[in-house]
Chains A and B, each alone.
Chain A
Amino acid sequence: MQVPDFILRQPATLQEAITAAQEASRPPDGSHAPSAPEQGYDWLGGGTDLLCNYKWRINQRPVVIALRGVAELQSDVAGSLAAGRTLWQLENDAEIQRRYPALASTAALVASPLIRRSATLGGNLHLDTRCWHFNQTAEWRAAHRSCLKAEADQCRVLPDPGDVCVAAYCGDLAPVLIAYGAVARLHGPDGERRVPLAEYFAGDGIRRFAERRRAELMVAVEMPADAEDWRVNYRKLRLRQTFDFPEGGVAVGLQWESGNPGVIAAARIATTAYASVPLLHPEVVELLQGQLLDQDLADRAGALLESLVQPMKNTSMSPSYRRKMARVLCRRALLDCSPHSSS
């Protein structure tokens, strides 16, 4: 297996990185389809997602801009986590473990220890969507004549997809950060903008983001001041205890009524791997709000979530099993939040 040729840029500052991206990209043509192979650039974090795809000749670009040397992405500023932080650091940082325990423990569930040494926070959040008909070698895809997100104009998951791609978003950290109420800090030619992560992702397996601006990158993830008041928990469905992407993932965040631990004042429920973007589930939030968290409430919330998620047949476990497991994941994540639970 060989990574195809590309031009590697190694900027040292944010400004240099943005300039390199401007040079490498043509003006966006307005379409959301992946630009032609001869166009554009990709940001490179740890490369544990991007370069795997490149090896399989999936949507590779001529220019790759490495972010490891960009100083602004390497160190946290007050209240935010730098996008260049490795998952290994997130997992082992004593302060993160104390302030955002679910973030540290979820980082430890991603991929494998070796991969987490180079995988970055920014890369994890921007992880490309995945599908059994997409994450395959060039020869495989050619034989299979798939897929919309790669070089073909048909989809093997849906019989009549239109131009909608149903590849699944399988990042583990996004739902957890959403449950904490985190905000993305982005930098581009026009300066900085801040977008709550809950609003950052949108669209389908190809489009993926509510608004993607040319030469813009994620500099950090800002944790809101009240993040530590939230009880957050994440449950992940996978076959093996390491390596495997989530086949379903449920994050819950709860805030208790003041003076009344166990009674839910506010809630956030986010899932991953069930759709092309991390999903929020206001219906479940509504069910939970103002209620005392007990077994029965957790059961009902799980059942409701099960009825809401609609996984596709494009990962290794069947959609019906993944859907049923949403209930279990949700119930367990909720019960882990209860005041008497150790986590």
Chain B
Amino acid sequence: MSDYRSTVGQRLPLIDSMEKVSGQGTYIEDMSFPDMLYARMVRSSESHAVVEQVDFAAAAEIEGYVAGLAPGEAGTGIHFGVLPISEDETPLPAPKALHSGCIVAAVAAESERAAREAALRVEVRYSVLDPVVRPRDALRETDHPLHPTTVAGTNLHKAVDQEFGDVDGAFAEAATVASGEFRFDGINHGFTEPIGCIAVPEANGRMSLYSATQVPHYLHRALAKVLEMPMHRIRVFKPLVGGGFGGKSDPFPHEMVAALLARKTGRPVKIIFDRDEVFLNHHGRHPTEYRIRVAADGDGRLLGLDSHSRIDGGAWGSFGVVTTYYNGVLSQGPYRIPAFRYSGRRVYTNKPASGAMRGHGAVNARFALETCLDEVAEQLRLDPFDLRAQNALPPNTTTLNHLRITSTGFLECLQQVRERSGWERKFRQLPHGRGIGLGCGFYISGSALPIHRTRTPQSTVHVKIDVDGGVTIHSMAADIGQGSDTMLAQCVAEAMGVSMDRCRVFARDTDTAPLDLGSYSSRVTFMAGNAALRAGEAIRRKLHKACARLTGLRADDFLRGANETYVHRDDDSVRVPYADALREALADNGALIAKGIYRAPKLGGSFKGSGAGLSPSYSYQAFVAEVEVDEETGQVRVDKVWAAHDCGKALNRLAVEGQIEGSVHMGLGQALSEQLVFLNNGQLQNGSLLDYKIPAPPDTPEIEAIVVESNDPEGPLGAKECGEGALAPIIPAVANAIHDAVGVRMHEVPMTPERVFKALEKKRRAEEKLRAGS
């Protein structure tokens, strides 16, 4: 038998970690080209206005000024966007500026300093329109909708209405109903590396764009459209990316502006945003108002869910159509819900655009549902764990909206955190001011439907081996710090039965890499991982043929053996070292190449919107948080978090635990401190890392990351997602713990000290009134 030793489940440092910590790695900021110019954006001082005129005369007096780009110039008015159904962005206003701080023009200069000075001197004349700032105002009719494509003269961007089962009947027969109106502030990704790109006009007339992006392919398409060039004349290159979390998953106006300026000047053009510009670019989590009702029978069986969301899209569409669906459909797990109604409304407002952010579309809805479930348990005097376990979706079922459920480790997640957190002796028993709470989750492992209607596989991976024995892997899966390069190397090495350090991953360049849709919807490990495995297996079959030639035995009878050998399945004294097999395979043949592909199976129903939420598999979570609430100040301190996540199979334990910890930390930011604050006219008030409050190390509790493995039948080596789903559950876990501690239900997120304090004051007043009355 084969004694091949797999790396699966080990703790593997990411393959690019030394490069990064030593400073050797190359990010956009590290790159430069001969004759490169620096561009600086001119940003709108108005929230809603027609740009009448842009005057570069004063800017041109700055030494080093080279060129300006203004609305009306070629390409600046061409529409693009990540979703073909809402291509509503343009490189520059055409003709309207849609939020304070949006890009209205740009200047290119010989130095960054000169570009900054020049940009400050550009004069823009506006004809100002009333801004729409509050979502409820956006639903009114107006003479000046933000986009010509809106619904019925309002600023409604997308409406979703879905109903399955007998919802009204469910509520009529319910023994208990929990409901609430929730409000969520917008939040930003807060990635480390500011956004940036360099456009390089090549001597042969092609255009190269180097960009810190999660979606090279969608960027490639958008550039082709805006530059009106065929895709093969454009090259997109992704260097190391310092975090994305969804904030680099759209093609952006500044990328188009860089390319247009490069074309205009014939010189490379570099753009690096300041942090405030990152906040203005935004495309983060939608500010959301959420109404929900949950019905259950007397034993705690869920009968129905009725929810409504109003989400604030800001100036552009981005992924918003998907967000509108996800706010509903992703509430169909991890529980069996026999009747379900959802209506969602996404509106345009004159604020920085909302878009996709880690846990896209699921986080706010999840908070509302998990909070209500806690209330249902309270009303029925059930333990919150028992309530959830009793309603868990079983494996191999289908939800009402036709989501196909295969593997699930949800019950094990529940059991693990229940035991490890000491729930039994803590819940409803801790001293006043201390509390413990549960929150659960459910997330897609890759969107099954590609954004563009096409039969091209969602992921393709190429593998090449040559005389040096190294394994070259080409893919366009975008490593944004989450470790997908490491995952590709591991999958290929695993499939080939060779050491990972033979692998070098080139997942950077659309000229050389086969298509991959990019890093969003938690798709990369599942899809690109499967493609990588298949590519590795395909090339191993070629090596096995060489083994057959060398031994006179059948190729199919060779297996992966220890120390990079191929071993005969029936006689392990027959061993062919990888090097020998490779030499034989190359003879008279040259370098070996192979590829693997992944295409999601056909899933789902045929009703309108049935594609939303479809995924080849789903991840599950159960988290417990223990908190302490200072009743005099409203300050909440999270002392400890137990976080169990079903990732199918931990290919790399270190990476999985890192993702769980990172998700918890990020989720705690939304839970307790992060919020975008806007002035009445829509201007962003707190676009800096001092005023936008991301938790710091001293604010971060001990996190026990618990890996649950349900071994997904279709996942690569059993794996499914672990980068996004783990964010949502921590927020309701904290809210439910606050309730356990001091008896208030928080319906506004983030749960800042001030909000908790107010809720406590309200409760105190109510209690006093009660006492006075009795």
**A residues with CB within 8 A of B:** 1-2, 5, 112, 132, 135, 137-140, 142-144, 237, 239-245, 316-318, 321, 324-325, 328
User: CB-CB < 8 A to A242: which residues of B?
Assistant: 696-699
- The verdict on B86 contacting chain A, using a C-beta distance below 8 Å, is no
B43→A139 contact, CB < 8 A: yes
User: CB-CB < 8 A to B232: which residues of A?
Assistant: none
A239→B673 contact, CB < 8 A: yes
Q: How far is the CA of A132 from the CA of B684 in the complex (A)?
A: 11
Nearest A-chain residue to B630, judged by Cβ: A328
User: CB-CB < 8 A to B6: which residues of A?
Assistant: none
Q: How far is the CA of A317 from the CA of B677 in the complex (A)?
A: 11
A-contacting 9-mer, from B168-176, B579-587, B687-695: B687-695
User: CB-CB < 8 A to B679: which residues of A?
Assistant: 144
User: CB-CB < 8 A to A328: which residues of B?
Assistant: 632-633
User: CB-CB < 8 A to A318: which residues of B?
Assistant: 754
B699→A2 contact, CB < 8 A: no
- Assuming A240-B699, A241-B699, is B113 touching A143 (CB within 8 A)? no
Dominant secondary structure at the A interface = loop
A2→B696 contact, CB < 8 A: no
Within 8 A of A (CB), among B20-55: 43-46
User: CB-CB < 8 A to B129: which residues of A?
Assistant: none
Of A135, A143, A324, which contacts B44 at CB under 8 A?
A143
A241→B46 contact, CB < 8 A: no
Nearest A-chain residue to B758, judged by Cβ: A321
- The verdict on B120 contacting chain A, using a C-beta distance below 8 Å, is yes
Q: How far is the CA of A7 from the CA of B330 in the complex (A)?
A: 58
A240→B757 contact, CB < 8 A: no
Q: How far is the CA of A63 from the CA of B753 in the complex (A)?
A: 42
User: CB-CB < 8 A to B752: which residues of A?
Assistant: 239
A240→B683 contact, CB < 8 A: no
Chain A proximity of B483: nearest CB distance (Å): 27
Q: How far is the CA of A138 from the CA of B120 in the complex (A)?
A: 8
Chain A proximity of B670: nearest CB distance (Å): 14
Nearest A-chain residue to B672, judged by Cβ: A239
Q: How far is the CA of A142 from the CA of B632 in the complex (A)?
A: 40
- The verdict on B497 contacting chain A, using a C-beta distance below 8 Å, is no
B45→A142 contact, CB < 8 A: yes
User: CB-CB < 8 A to A1: which residues of B?
Assistant: 274-275
Q: How far is the CA of A240 from the CA of B694 in the complex (A)?
A: 8
Chain B 240-277 interface mask (CB, 8 Å, partner A; 1/0) = 00000000000000000000000000000000001110
B633→A325 contact, CB < 8 A: yes
Q: How far is the CA of A5 from the CA of B116 in the complex (A)?
A: 12
User: CB-CB < 8 A to A243: which residues of B?
Assistant: 690, 696
A321→B45 contact, CB < 8 A: no
User: CB-CB < 8 A to B112: which residues of A?
Assistant: 2
Of A132, A139, A240, which contacts B693 at CB under 8 A?
A240
Nearest 6 interchain pairs by C-beta: A143-B45, A241-B698, A321-B754, A242-B696, A1-B274, A328-B632
- The verdict on B686 contacting chain A, using a C-beta distance below 8 Å, is yes
Chain A proximity of B192: nearest CB distance (Å): 15
Q: How far is the CA of A236 from the CA of B232 in the complex (A)?
A: 60
- The verdict on B101 contacting chain A, using a C-beta distance below 8 Å, is yes
- The verdict on B213 contacting chain A, using a C-beta distance below 8 Å, is no
With contacts A143-B46, A240-B695, A241-B698 known, what are 11 further pairs, Cβ within 8 A?
A: A1-B275, A135-B690, A139-B101, A144-B679, A239-B693, A242-B696, A242-B698, A242-B699, A243-B696, A244-B690, A318-B754
Of A2, A140, A245, A317, which contacts B683 at CB under 8 A?
A140
B690→A317 contact, CB < 8 A: no
Chain A proximity of B675: nearest CB distance (Å): 9
Q: How far is the CA of A244 from the CA of B43 in the complex (A)?
A: 28
User: CB-CB < 8 A to B101: which residues of A?
Assistant: 139-140, 143
Of B275, B687, B691, B757, which contacts A316 at CB under 8 A?
B691
Nearest B-chain residue to A1, judged by Cβ: B274
Of A2, A137, A138, A316, which contacts B686 at CB under 8 A?
A316
Q: How far is the CA of A132 from the CA of B678 in the complex (A)?
A: 12
**A–B complex contacts, Cβ < 8 Å, 5 sampled:** A135-B690, A140-B276, A144-B679, A239-B673, A321-B754
User: CB-CB < 8 A to B685: which residues of A?
Assistant: 132
User: CB-CB < 8 A to B632: which residues of A?
Assistant: 328
Chain B 615-628 interface mask (CB, 8 Å, partner A; 1/0) = 00000000000000
Within 8 A of A (CB), among B70-120: 100-101, 112-113, 116, 120
Of B113, B673, B690, B695, which contacts A2 at CB under 8 A?
B113
User: CB-CB < 8 A to A112: which residues of B?
Assistant: 696
User: CB-CB < 8 A to A2: which residues of B?
Assistant: 112-113, 116
Q: How far is the CA of A232 from the CA of B463 in the complex (A)?
A: 69
A241→B633 contact, CB < 8 A: no
A317→B754 contact, CB < 8 A: yes
B683→A321 contact, CB < 8 A: no
- Assuming A143-B101, A144-B683, A316-B677, is B696 touching A240 (CB within 8 A)? yes
Chain A proximity of B155: nearest CB distance (Å): 22
Q: How far is the CA of A321 from the CA of B113 in the complex (A)?
A: 42
Chain B proximity of A243: nearest CB distance (Å): 6
Q: How far is the CA of A112 from the CA of B694 in the complex (A)?
A: 14
Nearest B-chain residue to A318, judged by Cβ: B754
Q: How far is the CA of A66 from the CA of B655 in the complex (A)?
A: 46
Nearest A-chain residue to B41, judged by Cβ: A139
Q: How far is the CA of A321 from the CA of B44 in the complex (A)?
A: 34
B43→A239 contact, CB < 8 A: no
User: CB-CB < 8 A to B100: which residues of A?
Assistant: 143
Nearest A-chain residue to B757, judged by Cβ: A321
Chain A proximity of B332: nearest CB distance (Å): 36
Nearest A-chain residue to B761, judged by Cβ: A324
Q: How far is the CA of A144 from the CA of B681 in the complex (A)?
A: 10
User: CB-CB < 8 A to A241: which residues of B?
Assistant: 696, 698-699
User: CB-CB < 8 A to B683: which residues of A?
Assistant: 140, 143-144
Nearest A-chain residue to B45, judged by Cβ: A143
Nearest A-chain residue to B111, judged by Cβ: A2
Q: How far is the CA of A14 from the CA of B101 in the complex (A)?
A: 45
Q: How far is the CA of A239 from the CA of B696 in the complex (A)?
A: 11
Q: How far is the CA of A152 from the CA of B234 in the complex (A)?
A: 46
Chain B proximity of A2: nearest CB distance (Å): 6
Chain B 271-290 interface mask (CB, 8 Å, partner A; 1/0) = 00011100000000000000
